[in-house]
Amino acid sequence: MTRMFRVMNTHDHPTTVHEYDIIRTTNDEGHEEITLFRSFNDVWADGRKGDEVIKIIDTGDGYVFPKKVFNGEVDYCLGAELYIIMTFISKTERMPLFKGIIEEVVAKNNIEI
């Protein structure tokens, strides 16, 4: 079964903008594929609309990422796209990837004795 989800940006625009689509489907091996696409919205240049950004395969034992994603430097745009798809996976899978608290550790005054 194929399911489609819209990703709406509420941060960088004065109104909510449909920026990405996520397609969740099962491949021929029975593994789940989660694919992030750019939307066909006018926020993208004509040559970039509908482009596949990232496809992650859930094998049941782990995630398979495309090698091109981690080949060299990850720019801020790709970093944001990785965040979108990984957050989607964490929020919709049977087991969240992580749930917890991150605390800043601040150095305190030390007293030497």
Tokens of 42: 């006018």
The ranges assigned to domains in the chain are 3-92
Using one digit for the tens of pLDDT, what is the confidence trace for 59-84?
988 999 887 777 778 889 888 999 99
Using one digit for the tens of pLDDT, what is the confidence trace for 82-111?
999 999 998 887 777 788 898 888 888 888
Tokens of 79: 């970093």
Tokens of 78: 């790709």
Is 20 within 8 Å of 40 (Cβ atoms)? no
Burial 35-52 (b: 16+ CB within 10 A, else e): bbbbbeeebeeeeeeeee
